[in-house]
Homo-oligomer: A and B are copies of this chain.
Amino acid sequence: MERLPGFRDFYPEPLPHTDVWSAAARQYIFAKWREIARRYNFCEYDGPPLEPLELFTTKSGDEIIGQLYNFTDKGGRQIALRPEMTPTLARMAAAHERQYKKPFKWFAIPQLFRYERQQKGRLREHFQFNADIIGESEPAADAELIALLIDTLCSFGLTRADFIIRLSSRNAWQQFFEAKGTAPEKAPASAAYEFFQVIDKLERVPAEETGKKLGALGFSLAEVNQFIESGHPTPELENIVQNLAARGLRDFVKIDYRVIRGLAYYTGVVFEAFDCQGEFRAIAGGGRYDNLVKLMSGGKVDLPALGFGMGDVVLLELLRARKLLPAFDSGLDVFILIEDEKFRPASLKLVQDLRSAGAAVEYSLMPAKPDKQFKRAQELKASFTAKMENHSTVRVRNLKSREEQVLAPAEIGRILHH
């Protein structure tokens, strides 16, 4: 029986040489995400992987349904597997914001789902590091969030030679749009949205087509390109850049107005992290969405907010390409050799005592030849082997240095910890 198309199995190392994923690599990435969030005092939250469909259509309109993994449940409810975390966050924040001192900094590591027309190798789920700051409208919050993004990527060993944050602003484009006027027959809001969509696709759509679309909105490609090339920071962007400079992180960001982000709900600063060699899709992206909590709460709660998402798939591809993934060994501390079955009970006691002291311990469940046991200890890259020599002494061998010592069982713990 096969798993569903577009879903992943995560296997223990060493991996079979087929289309499966490493559970250890996934856990490595999650642990780093949690560790850097901890340093920044971001608190973990989570919601259900399933939400009412309207949680997502409220925000993005019915057009999003085409990409959603949605279905009707046994009770006749319209359900969607969450395609992104922000609506859940907005729902949760709005429900209990009074409990938390503003601004609050939250993160989650949700599994997200989509159901598009199946393309070969295209995944229908991924995991995402989501970090958000709720309740602060000043650029100091944007800088704190972008610093978290930079440090998260650096924690994997990536450097400025590997990635760059392209920083932009919907406000800058909004001002550009309003200063130039718009096609008179369109409502300004919908024209602005169309305009943002054209900018979002600048790098992916032929210049001629873009020029036509801009023309219909009353703009020329030349003036758009001129605005991009000017790269003149708005006061909010200038403020963020100065804040990051104080932290020593100035080099990790550049103003780049080609970034505008596709999603409709962004309101201010937007940004994306890219690999410098341009081989991969965006590593992460985010921005301000100051109106979303109000929208999601039916007007009851009005809180400015901003956040980013970083997926596990592009990150893993990048880390693999840059050879930054560690070897995922068993991390075994001791392999207990049982060469004489009469020592099995005493060996089991030793296993138990070492595990109780915090060591990772393995042994052969069944009688096995000494050389087979030792080979297994080596395969598992155990730090030590230990063997009961009689009921009161253990021979301990450091598999790296090959040093041996004969000890009382109670003394082994000390050796492990240095």
Contact = CB atoms under 8 A, between A and B. Distances in A.
A182 interface: no
Interface in A17-62: 18, 20, 23-24, 26-27, 38-41, 43-52, 54-55, 58
A355 B14 CA distance: 34
Interface in A53-82: 54-55, 58, 69-75, 77, 79, 81
Given A12-B44, A43-B12, A355-B40, A103 B365 contact: yes
A84 B138 CA distance: 47
B44 A23 contact: yes
B247 A92 contact: no
A96 interface: yes
A43 B13 contact: yes
Interface of A: 1-4, 7-16, 18, 20, 23-24, 26-27, 38-41, 43-52, 54-55, 58, 69-75, 77, 79, 81, 91-92, 95-96, 98-101, 103-104, 106, 111, 115, 118, 125, 136, 138, 140-141, 144, 147, 151, 243, 246-249, 296, 298, 330-332, 344-346, 348-349, 351-352, 355-356, 358-362, 365-366, 376, 379-380
Contacts of A23: 43-46
B355 A47 contact: no
15 contacts: A3-B51, A9-B92, A10-B44, A11-B45, A12-B104, A13-B43, A15-B99, A16-B98, A16-B99, A23-B43, A71-B72, A101-B376, A138-B366, A147-B352, A248-B349
A38 B305 CA distance: 39
A173 to B, nearest CB: 26
B140 A38 contact: no
Contact of A3 (B41, B47, B118, B332): B47
Chain copies in complex: 2
Given A16-B99, A23-B46, A365-B144, A355 B92 contact: no
- SS class, residues of chain A in contact with chain B: mixed
A10 B246 contact: no
Contact of A151 (B3, B92, B355): B355
A48 B46 CA distance: 18
B99 A52 contact: no
Given A4-B48, A151-B355, 14 more contacts: A4-B50, A7-B47, A9-B92, A10-B45, A11-B99, A12-B106, A23-B43, A39-B359, A43-B330, A71-B73, A101-B379, A103-B365, A144-B365, A247-B349
Contacts of A361: 39-41
Nearest to A65: B74
Contacts of A344: 246
A43 B18 CA distance: 19
A199 B75 CA distance: 34
Contacts of A147: 352
A48 B23 CA distance: 12
A403 B372 CA distance: 58
Given A12-B106, A147-B352, A352-B247, A4 B52 contact: yes
Given A39-B355, A77-B4, A248-B352, A14 B48 contact: no
A9 B99 contact: no
Given A23-B46, A115-B74, A1 B58 contact: yes
Contacts of A359: 39
Contacts of A115: 73-74
B1 A55 contact: yes
A55 B49 CA distance: 21
